[in-house]
Amino acid sequence: MRLMKFSASGREAYGIVEGDRVVEIVGDLFGSHERTKTVHALKDVKIEIPLIPPTFYCAGLNYTMHIKESAAKLGVEPDIPKKADIGYRAVSALVAHNEPVIIPRDATEKIHYEGELVAVIGRKVKHLSEADALSCVLGYTIGNDVSERTWQKNDRTMWRGKNTDTFKPMGPWIETSVDLDKLETMVRVNGKESTRFPTNDMLFSVATYIAAMTRYLTLYPGDVIWMGTDGSSPNIKAGDVVDVEITGIGTLTNPFVAET
Amino acid sequence: MRLMKFSASGREAYGIVEGDRVVEIVGDLFGSHERTKTVHALKDVKIEIPLIPPTFYCAGLNYTMHIKESAAKLGVEPDIPKKADIGYRAVSALVAHNEPVIIPRDATEKIHYEGELVAVIGRKVKHLSEADALSCVLGYTIGNDVSERTWQKNDRTMWRGKNTDTFKPMGPWIETSVDLDKLETMVRVNGKESTRFPTNDMLFSVATYIAAMTRYLTLYPGDVIWMGTDGSSPNIKAGDVVDVEITGIGTLTNPFVAET
């Protein structure tokens, strides 16, 4: 089932995407909800950010090739994480499918994409075992962890390198039926494939992260965990369009534009 | 004016604290609100977290003495920040005045307090000059940036070192009339003064941070910026009670207890 937040006729709602239409639902996204008789053509609605997370988690370095390639570009030894230490991103940077990523005037040319699987938490949990960890996941969506590498490297924190306004596209919807081992991530720039990797080929799996995190942290409905990326990105310029597709989930598309 | 969130008779409300009583208000905390005729004795209500921030910012290293003392304890050179690079904390770790900080079973003895001034944003802003920066501040509250130093030092991120559940007490209320240069921060452990410093003796001021941040980030009503701390903390044990007082704002008190 594909749960999507959208706006139409001046109001927001959640719906279930079925082919080229959206069936509006009422009720609790994380609990009982039911279909209504209101149906929209998918092409006629504006897709919104699937939800605003109470806490926005991000694994960061979680694929071996990405870590080695990033280190090589910086001329340093790769630093492979030894355990599932989660990081954070800022809610203020989120934008929806099809919304523009705005490149600040003083950014360098090193604007990169990172196509990521996003786990969406469906219930309040703590102290989950790894075997039970996935039971708290409502579904999965897609994120593009846009980065300005010069700022990321030189600033004391990742505040503008990772969290500049519009640098965190997420969507287009939450897919609740996912076989993690079958997923493949593909990133395209202006329609041309640029990166491809098996989505679940992570250093630490979704379940490993959730078990590690919930030893100390309570997860809440709507929290999201961005799972990191593999490979590397070319420099993205204003005018480019980036698609992040994860098979079985969908495609997150965002144009990149210059700040005016 | 002291704006406080509280619960009484099974429901939550905002009120204005006047001496030992709370006058309930209705309306928008960030816009127009008015006093009601409902008045509670301050001692009869439960003080809640003043608000749940959309994004939870934290300056981290922002006082010279704290940076030098922390570096000396680690046996490394002090790394004084050269510019106002903001960091983040997790909403999931917030607790209210008087609520317990729970020390995890496997934490080391290095549990430390950090008494901090917290700026609460009152309106949506971007591209503020330093001269105009404070115009977006609704008021100030107090934070205790509780830290487990062994985890902070050894983990790849500050996730459990800083963001373990209950590690972020904030409150007791938001004071809207503040003269930053007159503030003094005092931290007491079991009633005995342990740390004292001029609150505004920061490397980078509230205005400097807001101007730097809003060059790239939009701030929203309810966002909070924790401004860092000075000095250092003794090891805090289960059974201790920590007060963070900032003159002119109030006192944030939290007992520390062991995880059971």
Q: H-helix or E-strand containing B64?
A: helix B64-74
Q: Is the pLDDT score of A22 beyond 80?
A: yes
| Average of per-residue pLDDT across A198-207 | 97
Quick check: B74 pLDDT over 80?
no
Asked if A188 contacts A195 with a C-beta cutoff of 8 angstroms, the reply is no
pLDDT exceeds cutoff 90 at B96: yes
pLDDT at B37: 97
Share the mean pLDDT of chain B: 96
pLDDT attached to residue B79: 84
Give the domain-ending residue among A12, A31, A47. A47
Q: Give residue A146's pLDDT.
A: 98
Per-residue pLDDT for A192 more than 90? yes
The pLDDT value given to residue A109: 97
Please name which of B58, B218, B119, B55 lies closest in space to residue A52, comparing C-alpha atoms: B55
Q: Name the band, by pLDDT with cuts 50, 70 and 90, for residue A71.
A: confident
| Substitution target from A209, A216, A223 for chain B, most B beta carbons within 10 A | A216
Are residues B89 and B168 in contact, defined by beta-carbon separation less than 8 angstroms?
yes
Same domain? A114 vs A203: yes
d(CA A205, CA A202): 6
Query: Over the stretch A101-142, which tens digit does the pLDDT of each residue have?
Result: 999 999 999 999 999 999 999 999 999 999 999 999 999 999
CB–CB of A156 and B85 under 8 A?
A: yes
Percentage of chain A lying above the pLDDT 90 cut: 91
Residues of A in CB contact (< 8 Å) with B are: 52, 54-55, 60-61, 81, 83, 85-88, 90-93, 104, 126, 155-157, 159-160, 163-165, 213, 215-220, 223
Please state, rounded to an integer, the average pLDDT across all residues of chain A. Answer: 96
Set of chain B residues whose Cβ sits within 8 Å of the Cβ of A223: 92
Give the tens place of pLDDT for each residue, B147-206: 999 999 999 999 999 999 999 999 999 999 999 999 999 999 999 999 999 999 999 999
User: Please, what is the end-to-end C-alpha distance for chain B in angstroms?
Assistant: 39
CB contact under 8 A, B86 and A219: no
Is the domain of A11 the same as that of A76? Answer: no
Q: Which pLDDT band holds residue A180 (cuts at 50, 70, 90)?
A: very high
Alpha carbon of A18: minimum distance to chain B alpha carbons (Å): 32
What is the ipTM metric for this complex? 0.94
Residue B230 pLDDT class (50, 70, 90 cuts): very high
Q: Report the C-alpha gap between A196 and A191 in whole angstroms.
A: 13
pLDDT attached to residue A94:
98
Nearest-CB residue to A88 (from B61, B88, B220): B88
Task: Please tell me which of the candidates B85, B104, B218 has its beta carbon nearest to residue A92.
Answer: B218
Confidence of residue B66 (pLDDT cuts 50, 70, 90): confident
Strand pairing of B2-8 and B168-175? antiparallel
- Cα distance between residue A198 and residue A192, in whole Å: 18
Residues in chain B closer than 8 A to A125 (CB atoms):
none
Residue A76's pLDDT is 85
- The enclosing domain of A85 has a CATH number of 3.90.850.10
A67 in the same domain as A38: no
- A203 and A254 both lie in a single domain: yes
- Does the pLDDT of residue A200 top 90, yes or no? yes
Residues from chain A contacting residue B83 (CB–CB below 8 Å): 155-156
Looking at the structure, tell me whether residues A133 and A227 fall in a common domain: yes
Asked if B93 lies within 8 A of A213 by C-beta distance, the reply is no
**Candidate from A54, A159, A215 with C-beta closest to B92:** A54
- pLDDT reported for residue B71: 84
Nearest CA in chain A to B221: A92
- pLDDT over 80 (residue B239): yes
Domain carrying residue B20: 1-47
In sequence order, the 6+-apart residues with CB closer than 8 A to the CB of A186 are A115, A193, A195, A196, A243, A244, A245, A246, A247
Are B38 and B86 in the same domain?
no
Q: In this structure, are strands A56-58 and A224-226 parallel, antiparallel, or unpaired?
A: parallel
> How many angstroms separate the CA atoms of B60 and A140, rounded?
33
DSSP string, chain A: -EEEEEEETTEEEEEEEETTEEEEEEE-TTS-EEEEEEEEEGGGSEEPPS---SSEEE--S--HHHHHHHHHHHTS-----SS---EE--GGGEE-TTPPEEEPTT--S-EE--EEEEEEE-S-B-S--TTTGGGGEEEEEEEE--EEHHHHHHSSSSHHHHHSTT-EEEEEEEES---GGG-EEEEEETTEEEEEEETT--SS-HHHHHHHHTTT--B-TT-EEE----S--PPP-TT-EEEEEETTTEEEEEEEEE--
**Is there a single domain that holds both residue A201 and residue A133?**
yes
Q: Give tens-digit pLDDT for A225-258.
A: 999 999 899 999 999 999 999 999 999 999 999 9
**Local confidence band at B121 (pLDDT 50, 70, 90 cut-offs):** very high
pLDDT of residue A74: 75
- Looking at the structure, tell me whether residues B17 and B137 fall in a common domain: no
* B201: three-class secondary structure by DSSP: coil
- The helix (H) or strand (E) run that includes residue B257 is strand B250-258
CA torsion through residues A216, A222, A227, A231, sign: negative
pLDDT over 90 at A67, yes or no: no
Same domain assignment for residues A43 and A57: no
Which of A171, A123, A120 shows the shortest CA–CA distance to A144? Answer: A171
The CATH number given to whatever domain includes residue B14 is: 2.30.30.370
Is A162 buried (19+), middle (13-18) or exposed (0-12) by CB count in 10 A? Answer: buried
Residues on chain B touching A81 (C-beta within 8 angstroms):
156
Calculate how close chain B gets to A133, using CA atoms only, in Å: 18
Of the candidates B55, B104, B165, which has its C-beta nearest A90's C-beta?
B55
Count structural domains, chain B: 2
Q: CB-hemisphere CA count at 13 Å for A106?
A: 6
Regarding whether A111 and A29 lie in a shared domain, the answer is no
Strand-pairing partners, residue B213, are none
Asked whether residue B221 falls in the same domain as residue B132, the answer is yes
A241 and A142, same domain (yes or no)? yes
The alpha carbon torsion through B84, B90, B95, B97 (nearest 10 deg) reads 0
